[in-house]
Structure 1
Amino acid sequence: MKLSSQLVVSSLAVFVLSACSGNASQRRQAQDDFEYLNTPTFSEWQSIEGAEPQFYTNYQVPQGDFRGGVGPQVDIRPPQQILELIPGARIDRKGGDVTLWLLRATEADKVWSTAQTMLNERGIGIQNQTENSIETGWVTWVSEDEDLPLSARYQISRVTSNGRHGVHLALIDWREGSDVKPVTLTNKERYSALMSNLVTARYDLDIRLEAERKARELVKNIPITMGTDRSGLPVIIARAPYDVLWNRLPDILPAMGFNIEERNRSQGTIKAKYVEQDDEFWQEIGVKPVELRSITYTFLFGDLGNRTSINVTDAKGKPVESELLKDMVPVLAAMAEKYQ
Structure 2
Amino acid sequence: MAYSVQKSTIATLVGVSLAMMLSACSSDQRYKRQVSGDEAYLETPALQELKAPAGMILPLQNSTYDIRFGNDKGAIGKALDIRPPAQALALLNGSRAQYSNGAAIMLVENTAGTHGLWGQVVRAVQADNFPIANRQDASQSLTTDWIAFNRADEDQQYRGRYQISVQPQGYQTAIVVKSLALEQSGSPVTANGEIQRYAVNVLNDVVSNLDKIQGELADARANRTIGQIDVQSGADDTGLPLLIVRAPYAQVWERAPAVLTRLG
Partner of 1:142: helix, strand, or coil? coil
CA drift at 1:191: 1.7
Match of 2:94 among 76, 84, 88: 88
Q: Is the 8 A contact 2:89 2:97 kept in 1?
A: no
Match of 1:193 among 173, 189, 200: 200
CA drift at 1:124: 2.3
| Aligned-partner Cα distance in 1 for 2:77–2:131 | 37
| Aligned-partner Cα distance in 1 for 2:131–2:45 | 51
Match of 2:249 among 242, 246, 255: 242
CA drift at 1:135: 2.7
- Aligned counterpart, 2:11: none
| Aligned-partner Cα distance in 2 for 1:230–1:76 | 65
Compared CA separation, residues 160 and 242, structure 1 to 2 (3 A): closer
| Aligned-partner Cα distance in 1 for 2:217–2:209 | 12
Letter in 1 for 2:91: L
Question: What does residue range 317-332 of structure 1 map to in structure 2 within 5 Å?
Answer: none
Higher mean Cα deviation, 231-240 or 94-103? Answer: 231-240
Higher mean Cα deviation, 202-211 or 229-238? Answer: 229-238
Partner of 2:210: helix, strand, or coil? helix
Question: What does residue range 1-340 of structure 1 map to in structure 2 within 5 Å?
Answer: 23-32=28-37, 34-42=39-47, 52-56=60-64, 61=68, 66=72, 68-94=74-100, 97-104=103-110, 110-130=116-136, 131-159=139-167, 161=169, 163-177=171-185, 179-218=186-225, 220-226=227-233, 235-255=242-262, 258-259=263-264
Please list the CA deviations of residues 80-137 of structure 1 after superposition, one character each: whole Å capped at 9, or x if unmatched. 4433321111111335632111232866664443332233344323345542443321
Percent of aligned positions that are identical:
24
Q: Is the 8 A contact 2:182 2:195 kept in 1?
A: no
Q: Is the 8 A contact 1:223 1:238 kept in 2?
A: yes
Figure out how many residues of one structure are paired with residues of the other and give that number. 234
Judging by fraction of residues, say which structure has more helix.
2
| Aligned-partner Cα distance in 2 for 1:108–1:62 | 52
Q: Is the 8 A contact 1:172 1:183 kept in 2?
A: no
CA drift at 1:170: 2.5
What is the TM-score normalised by the length of structure 2? 0.70
- Aligned counterpart, 2:22: none
Q: Is the 8 A contact 1:108 1:166 kept in 2?
A: no
Q: Is the 8 A contact 1:218 1:244 kept in 2?
A: no
Q: Which runs of 5+ in 2 are unaligned?
A: 1-24
What is the TM-score normalised by the length of structure 1? 0.56
Q: Is the 8 A contact 2:234 2:241 kept in 1?
A: yes
Compared CA separation, residues 78 and 173, structure 1 to 2 (3 A): same
| Aligned-partner Cα distance in 1 for 2:57–2:214 | 73
Please list the CA deviations of residues 179-232 of structure 1 after superposition, one character each: whole Å capped at 9, or x if unmatched. 222232221232222211111111111122123323433553222224577999
| Aligned-partner Cα distance in 1 for 2:85–2:153 | 13
Compared CA separation, residues 159 and 210, structure 1 to 2 (3 A): closer
Structure 1 runs, 4 residues or longer, greater than 6 Å off? 44-50, 228-234
